[in-house]
Amino acid sequence: MTNQETTTAQGNRPLRLGDLAPNFTARTTLGQKSLADYRGKWLVLFSHPADFTPVCTTEFVAIARAADRFAALDCALLGLSIDSLYAHIAWVRAIEEAYGVTVPFPIVEDPSMAVARAYGMIDEHAQDSSTIRSSYFIDPEGVVRAITSYPFNVGRSVEEMLRIVAALQVAERDGVLTPEGWLPGEPTLRPPGTDLASIPAGPDWFCSRAGTS
């Protein structure tokens, strides 16, 4: 297909945690990009229903303002919608003019919905993208480690996106678990033991703290 290629090993089934993220090459607001360009670092690939819409605009303003915080986690950002490249460019310029915010990350055009369908963002027979508001948290090896999906009328939380990236990184690096609402610097949890000798003493042996990360 012109200016855009997608590959997937999942066939027609929905993308699942642990799957290799489908590769694609497409035009973006910052030149042609491939998912493979992001190997070696964390990536949040996030989609939105349409440019010039209220909820999407608030999300992009907030994500752009938090771009340095994602960069501090060595995590890249990549937006996507079915709008054309020129609609993306016009919207980015309108955001800068209206809010004084520069969108520093690329936005992928997906007019054929090929990427959206490869990732299971929309049904393969859907005629529009009205339900797309998904985020894919992809590790340096290209593996999908978390997925969030929201309806078109509810915006995402940028703080939660940052928290998910940080939690995934700490769990991977330290071999620990992160409890409900965990934030960087707070105590983590030890993975449960597999035999009596490895289980700590005390009434909370099944939910014991592992220290701060």
Which of 100-109, 137-146, 193-202 is predicted with the least confidence, judged by mean pLDDT? Answer: 193-202
| Beta pairing class for 5-7 and 33-34 | unpaired
CB burial string 48-73: b at 16+ within 10 A, e below: bbbbeeebbbebbbbbbeebebbeeb
Higher pLDDT, 71 or 190: 71
Higher pLDDT, 211 or 138: 138
With a CB cutoff of 8 Å and minimum separation 6, the contacts of 151 are: 131, 133
CB burial string 13-33: b at 16+ within 10 A, e below: eebeeebbbbbbbbbbbeeeb
* Residue-level pLDDT at 88: 96
Q: Where are the chain's structural domains?
A: 5-157
The DSSP H or E segment spanning 44 is strand 42-47
Q: Which residue has the tokens 């310029």?
A: 93
* Residue-level pLDDT at 3: 43
Answer whether residue 9 shows pLDDT above 50. no
* Residue-level pLDDT at 133: 86
Q: Tell me, yes or no, if 56 is annotated catalytic.
A: yes
* Residue-level pLDDT at 26: 95
Task: Give the pLDDT band (50/70/90) at residue 2.
Answer: very low
pTM for the full model? 0.88
What percent of the chain has a predicted confidence (pLDDT) above 90? 68
Integer Cα distance of 116 and 125 in angstroms: 12
CATH code at 5-157: 3.40.30.10
* Residue-level pLDDT at 22: 95
pLDDT digits 0-9 by tens, 45-60 = 999 999 999 999 999 9
3-state helix, strand, coil in the chain (%, to 5): 30, 25, 50
Identify the bridge partners of residue 134 per DSSP, sorted by sequence position: 149
Answer whether residue 74 shows pLDDT above 50. yes
User: How many angstroms separate the Cα of 197 from the Cα of each of 83, 192, 201?
Assistant: 58, 12, 10
Segment 97-106 shows an average pLDDT of 97
Contact 40, 140 (CB under 8 A): yes
Answer whether residue 155 shows pLDDT above 80. yes
Sign of CA dihedral 78, 60, 120, 136: positive
With a CB cutoff of 8 Å and minimum separation 6, the contacts of 43 are: 35, 75, 76, 77, 78, 137, 138
Answer whether residue 4 shows pLDDT above 50. no
Active site residue: 15, 26, 56, 158, which one? 56
